[in-house]
Structure 1
Amino acid sequence: MKKIGFLSFGHWTPSPQSGTRSAADALLQSIDLAVAAEELGADGAYVRVHHFARQLAAPFPLLAAMGAKTRRIELGTAVIDMRYENPLYMAEDAGAADLISGGRLQLGLSRGSPEQVIDGWRHFGFAPPEGQTDADMGRRHAEVFLEVLRGQGFARPNPRPMFPNPPGLLRLEPHSEGLRDRIWWGSGSNATAVWAAEQGMNLQSSTLKDDETGEPFHVQQAAQIRAYRAAWKEAGHTHTPRVSVSRSIFPLLDDRDRAYFGRGGAEQDKVGFIDERTRAIFGRGYTAEPEVLVEQLAADEGIAEADTLLLTIPNQLGVGYCAHVIEAVLKHVAPTLGWR
């Protein structure tokens, strides 16, 4: 059994060929798709955060709106680039959105990936300390965020406050109990997966990771997940962690599906460089008739190791079509594989 949700990057473009032509379209359609996915029986609605791009950013107003319009589905990010975040202000936003949703947030964080502009986090007022990298800064921001989510007081109260204070040091408000256990780390390497386990975070492993062995992507991803679980056990955490993977999966059910996705050749992993030092492997997508997909996905070792699967959706094709893709996986693929 697996939890199955969708992951949207929220692309928008003013092109007449796009069903998502503005930022308002991207935001409002994301809310509508969360509602539709819940009605279909999906388990999660996740969004990616990008800055300086015609894609979704500012996740907490969107997550709060999703939470107000739904009742059951998990609401999350995959991922928030922590190089750009003030962790204390973020904790307040996250606490508010989690309370609005009734405790359904599943927040994926990361140290960041290549962005649209050079050192974009500098425009947000952040810079790594001397001797550290921007990735170090992102991980440090995450550590501070995790600490304040525990809800412990740390700030000395004013002896003459405007309003009465509770006794002792003050914590950030609003505080949402349990959110700390619903934080995930988007890991692109085995080492950062181990670090995430040591920090007590759940693991999000996407369709891109460092090419550390030259093996197929799904094999490397499965090894990453096993290393994460071993580190979790070694760290002595008392609860069971969660692990998600994301995939592009398009069952070909009708002529519309074939027109959009049925013309490609055999899909395979791709290898490239995300910067001058990092060789990365990009996992393949899956597009075929349901019976073929079942056979292909059964051999995917990364999916087999995970408890949560996020379906990347082509949001510019519209809410109706994206809901159709989600429903096709839930009805025509997942049950045969034992995911439902």
Structure 2
Amino acid sequence: MKKIGFLSFGHWSDTPYSQTRSAADVLTQSIELAVAAEEVGADGAYFRVHHFAKQLGSPFPLLAAAGARTSRIELGTGVIDMRYENPLYMAEDAGAADLIAGGRLQLGLSRGSPEQVIDGWRYFGFAPAEGESDADMARRHTQVFLDVLQGKGFAQPNPRPMFPNPPGLLRLEPHSDTLRKRIWWGAGSNATAVWAAKMGMHLQSSTLKDDENGKPFHVQQAEQIRLYRDAWKDAGHEGTPRTSVSRSIFAITNDQDRSYFGRDGASRDQIGFINETRSIFGRSYAAEPDQLIKELAEDEAIAEADTLLLTIPNQLGVEYNAHVLDAIIKHVAPALGWR
């Protein structure tokens, strides 16, 4: 069994063919798509977080609203840029959203990606400490966030409070007892995957990573997952870690699919540079179900991961994206042993 969810970047634009012309459109349709995804049998609704862009930016109101409208599907992020986050305020928001959702949040965090503005986190009031990089700052914020999610008291109570306090140091409220076990890290390299394992976080691996040995993307990603699992075991953590990979996959089952994605079948891995680091970008998949099954069977990273997140074209609307998910779940997943 493999969990299958969607990952939405939450774009909107006032263009002729977009069904998301505004932020309100994206937010309401994201909730509706989570409901529709649950109805077609998907396991997860995940949302990307970007700042200073016409994309989803504040995940917790959205996750809480989707949690109130659904009952089974996992709700998550892929990923929250921790350079921008006040970890204590974030812990309160996350705790509230998780309680509304009945303990279904799966929060993906990371050090972030290239931004729309220069050092955008400075506008949010954050700066690296002396000797730190922005990546170090993101990991420091993450460590604080993970610590407060443990639910241990750390704040000295006021001897004359407005309301009675429980004995001892106070923790943040509302607190979700199990959320700490459902935190993921989006790793772009083998080293950060190993670090995530040591920290006791699950692993999210996207459609790109550092090109560390020149092998095909799916092979490098599978190697990353295996290194992560070894590091988790070496760290002595309890339980089985989860791993996810993201892919753009479209089963062509009608003329509309063909018009949108019929030319994507020749997609190949690509090489580029992110922050001066050589990176490899994984291919997309688009074909009729029988051919798609053959191609996906050769993807080593999908085989290694327990969760597959399908990146969706959210501007094509709820109905079409529900169809995209339904086609994979019904026509592709069973033949590959995912269902």
With the length of structure 2 as denominator, give the TM-score of the two structures: 0.99
The alpha carbon displacement at 1:113 in A equals 1.0
Q: CA offsets, 1:104-137, max 9 Å, x none?
A: 0000000111011110000000000111100000
Corresponding residue number in structure 2 for 1:301: 300
Q: CA offsets, 1:153-189, max 9 Å, x none?
A: 0000011111100000000000001000000000000
The alpha carbon displacement at 1:17 in A equals 1.7
Question: Is 1:9–2:25 an aligned residue pair?
Answer: no
The DSSP-based 3-state class of the residue aligned with 1:320 is helix
The DSSP-based 3-state class of the residue aligned with 1:250 is strand
> Using the alignment, how far apart are the partners of 1:275 and 1:194 within structure 2?
21
> Using the alignment, how far apart are the partners of 2:12 and 2:188 within structure 1?
26
Q: What is the correspondence of 1:253-264 to structure 2 with a 5 Å cutoff? A: 253-264=253-264
> Using the alignment, how far apart are the partners of 1:206 and 1:17 within structure 2?
27
The alpha carbon displacement at 1:275 in A equals 1.5
Question: Is 1:282–2:281 an aligned residue pair?
Answer: yes
Counting aligned pairs with the same residue, the percent is 78
Corresponding residue number in structure 2 for 1:335: 334
The residue type equivalent to 2:321 in the other structure is: C
Q: Is the 2:205–2:244 Cα contact (8 Å) retained in structure 1?
A: yes
Gaps of 5+ in 2: none
Q: CA offsets, 1:258-308, max 9 Å, x none?
A: 0001024511100000112x1100000100010111000000000011000
Question: Is 1:273–2:273 an aligned residue pair?
Answer: yes
The DSSP-based 3-state class of the residue aligned with 2:116 is coil
Structure 1 residues 237 and 212: alpha-carbon distance in aligned structure 2, compared to 1, 3 A threshold: same
> Using the alignment, how far apart are the partners of 1:106 and 1:242 within structure 2?
11
The DSSP-based 3-state class of the residue aligned with 1:164 is coil
Q: Is the 2:245–2:301 Cα contact (8 Å) retained in structure 1?
A: yes
Gaps of 5+ in 1: none
Q: What is the correspondence of 1:44-55 to structure 2 with a 5 Å cutoff? A: 44-55=44-55
Corresponding residue number in structure 2 for 1:141: 141
Corresponding residue number in structure 2 for 1:236: 236
> Using the alignment, how far apart are the partners of 1:144 and 1:331 within structure 2?
42
Q: CA offsets, 1:231-270, max 9 Å, x none?
A: 0000000111100000000000000000001024511100
The residue type equivalent to 1:322 in the other structure is: N
The DSSP-based 3-state class of the residue aligned with 1:204 is strand
> Using the alignment, how far apart are the partners of 1:264 and 1:137 within structure 2?
39
The DSSP-based 3-state class of the residue aligned with 1:273 is strand
RMSD of the alignment, in Å?
A: 0.6
> Using the alignment, how far apart are the partners of 2:8 and 2:262 within structure 1?
21
Q: Is the 2:265–2:285 Cα contact (8 Å) retained in structure 1?
A: no
> Using the alignment, how far apart are the partners of 2:323 and 2:93 within structure 1?
32
> Using the alignment, how far apart are the partners of 2:183 and 2:264 within structure 1?
37
Q: Is the 2:265–2:287 Cα contact (8 Å) retained in structure 1?
A: no
> Using the alignment, how far apart are the partners of 2:33 and 2:265 within structure 1?
29
Corresponding residue number in structure 2 for 1:205: 205
Q: CA offsets, 1:57-93, max 9 Å, x none?
A: 1000000000000000000000000000000000000
Q: What is the correspondence of 1:1-340 to structure 2 with a 5 Å cutoff? A: 1-264=1-264, 266-276=266-276, 278-340=277-339
Deviates more, 1:151-160 or 1:262-271: 262-271
Q: Is the 2:95–2:174 Cα contact (8 Å) retained in structure 1?
A: yes
Structure 1 residues 273 and 20: alpha-carbon distance in aligned structure 2, compared to 1, 3 A threshold: same
The residue type equivalent to 2:80 in the other structure is: I
> Using the alignment, how far apart are the partners of 1:141 and 1:293 within structure 2?
41
The DSSP-based 3-state class of the residue aligned with 1:231 is helix
The residue type equivalent to 2:325 in the other structure is: I
Q: Is the 2:6–2:310 Cα contact (8 Å) retained in structure 1?
A: yes
The alpha carbon displacement at 1:203 in A equals 0.3
The residue type equivalent to 2:153 in the other structure is: G
Structure 1 residues 4 and 265: alpha-carbon distance in aligned structure 2, compared to 1, 3 A threshold: closer
The residue type equivalent to 1:301 in the other structure is: E
